[in-house]
Amino acid sequence: MTLRIGCIADDFTGGTDVAAAFRRAGLRTALVFGAPDSTTELPADCDVAVVALKSRSAPADEAVADSLTAQRWLHAKGAAQIYLKYCSTFDSTPRGNIGPVTDALLQAAGTAVTLHCPASPPNGRTVYQGHLFVHDQLLSDSPLRHHPLTPMTDSALVRLLSAQTPHRVALIDWPTVRRGVDAVREALSAHRQAGVRHVIADALTDDDLAVLGAAALELPVVAGAAGLAEGLGRAYPTAGPDPADALPRQGRAAVLAGSCSARTLEQIAQFYAAGLPSLHLDVLAAATGRDVIGEAMTWYDAQDPKLPVLVYASASPDELAAVQAQLGVSEAAAQVEELLGTLASRLVERGVRRLLVAGGETSGAVTTALGIRAVLVADEADPGVPWTYAGAATGGLALMLKSGNFGAPDLFTRALSATAEEAK
């Protein structure tokens, strides 16, 4: 079975989000961490490969170079269609790189037109008359107008994208989308003949995105957030059971948390309140040379092997500020990431087969320490939080990489107890 869709995501949590969307559409999906090279192996039998880059805030020339590297690798693996995943809140000012990256992908694919739609209705992101809404607010009235890196002070997608590309940008409006797949295809064709390169489409619901996905099936390059990816995925015939369904059910379960986001702190509190074994890592002690890893492993060995364990560096804003004041922000982060990466390796060596990691940077540290470059995506425990399967290199590991603010407060206990019964 050859690859059907190659997806390029502009950040890691966006990569997980879009991989979960393709999987929800029934496609066998692999997630690759970082720009691939000739040594990057793709799990066998996948329909979609998502390459997660860190290009969202990068200068346009860097983002273009990384995206073209990913596109070449995906094409070499057989992908006929490229999906560019950017943020559902666009997160790209007039100096942003969505226009330059899309133009470069179109040129390399030898095609003249693409369809864009950042709508993601389950997260309240909709597009109407080309304006992006976040729930009941225009993007430019939403808290995203204060984003530290990409303040979104305009909601008009045609205007935003026109500032990033020398090519023409135009809209397919909602009444056309409501008329269905043929109407969208005709509008796309009319725009292409008129010399438009970027066609933005309105979408208010998942049904609208399914129409757009079906209409975009033959386009070599399509762009947007997870919503259009799911619509596109649903237009492909699905094939056979997902190999990720063979996730390991045996072995011990652990959570490693380095995220200090509010939702992660709630999840830690819920795990503790459920009476499950939790250990807080003393980051300052580790910095003075104490064998915090050795102590953590001694603690782990003393726990009931039937219960999931939680080891966390996560701290409240006050504790975090105190550690950062003493060690410096980047030294503190490096210290924590080193600790959690090493612990991940030790835990897997000791038989952990189900590992949940909280935090984007933390996930990067753990996958690097475990030498995991690609995983197969399985079903979601919560929206945008899928289980993944890291194959033979890790002895068969079920891995969940959770973005800081994703998942319900009981995610840790629910995700790990779902399989605990079978591990007994």
Ligand X SMILES: Nc1ncnc2c1ncn2[C@@H]1O[C@H](COP(=O)(O)OP(=O)(O)OP(=O)(O)O)[C@@H](O)[C@H]1O
Q: Does 88 bind ligand X (CB under 6 A)?
A: no
Using CB under 6 A as the binding rule, the residues of this chain from 375 to 414 that contact ligand X are 403-405
Q: Does 16 bind ligand X (CB under 6 A)?
A: no
Show the 3-state SS of the chain. Answer: CCCCEEEEECCHHHHHHHHHHHHHCCCCEEEEECCCCCCCCCCCCCCEEEEECCCCCCCHHHHHHHHHHHHHHHHHCCCCEEEEECCCCCCCCCCCCHHHHHHHHHHHHCCCCEEEECCEHHHCEEEECCEEEECCEEHHHCHHHHCCCCCCCCCEHHHHHHCCCCCEEEEECHHHHHHCHHHHHHHHHHHHHCCEEEEEECECCHHHHHHHHHHCCCCCEEEECHHHHHHHHHHCCCCCCCHHHHCCCCCEEEEEECCCCHHHHHHHHHHHHCCCCEEECCHHHHHCCCCHHHHHHHHHHCCCCCCCEEEECCCCHHHHHHHHHHHCHHHHHHHHHHHHHHHHHHHHHCCEEEEEEECHHHHHHHHHHHCCCEEEEEEEEECCEEEEEECHHHCCEEEEEECCCCCCCCHHHHHHHHHHHHHC
Residues in the chain: 424
Which of the stretches 8-16, 24-32, 134-142, 326-334 binds ligand LCNOYBR7 when contact is defined by CB under 6 A? Answer: 8-16
Interface residue with ligand LCNOYBR7 among 13, 114, 278, 419 (CB under 6 A) is: 13
* Shortest separation between residue 360's beta carbon and ligand X, angstroms: 3
Site string for ligand LCNOYBR7, 180-219 (x = CB under 6 A): ----------------------------------------
Which of the stretches 7-15, 39-47, 238-246, 284-292 binds ligand LCNOYBR7 when contact is defined by CB under 6 A? Answer: 7-15
> Which residue lies nearer to ligand X by CB, 13 or 88?
13
What is the spatial distance between Cα 63 and Cα 57, in angstroms, rounded to a whole number? 8
Site string for ligand LCNOYBR7, 31-70 (x = CB under 6 A): ----------------------------------------
Map tokens 């989000």 to a residue: 17
- Binders of ligand X: how many residues, by CB under 6 A? 24
Beta bridge partners, 356, equal 255, 400
88 binds, among ligand LCNOYBR7, ligand X, none (CB under 5 to 8 A by kind): ligand LCNOYBR7
> Which residue lies nearer to ligand LCNOYBR7 by CB, 134 or 276?
134
164 binds, among ligand X, ligand LCNOYBR7, none (CB under 5 to 8 A by kind): none
What is the spatial distance between Cα 222 and Cα 347, in angstroms, rounded to a whole number? 41
> Which residue lies nearer to ligand X by CB, 117 or 315?
315
Q: Does 155 bind ligand LCNOYBR7 (CB under 6 A)?
A: no
* Shortest separation between residue 18's beta carbon and ligand LCNOYBR7, angstroms: 7
Residue 149: CB atoms within 10 A of its CB come to: 9
220 binds, among ligand LCNOYBR7, ligand X, none (CB under 5 to 8 A by kind): none
Site string for ligand X, 249-288 (x = CB under 6 A): ---------xxxx--x------------------x-----
Q: Does 366 bind ligand X (CB under 6 A)?
A: no
332 binds, among ligand X, ligand LCNOYBR7, none (CB under 5 to 8 A by kind): ligand X
The one-letter amino acid at 378: A
> Which residue lies nearer to ligand X by CB, 28 or 263?
263
Using CB under 6 A as the binding rule, the residues of this chain from 81 to 120 that contact ligand LCNOYBR7 are 87-88, 120
Q: Are 48 and 27 in contact (CB under 8 A)?
A: yes
> Which residue lies nearer to ligand X by CB, 224 or 359?
359
Please report, as ranges, the residues that interact with ligand X according to CB under 6 A. Answer: 13, 258-261, 264, 283, 313-315, 320, 323-324, 332-333, 336-337, 359-362, 403-405
The site for ligand LCNOYBR7 (CB under 6 A) is made up of 11, 13-14, 17, 87-88, 120, 225-226
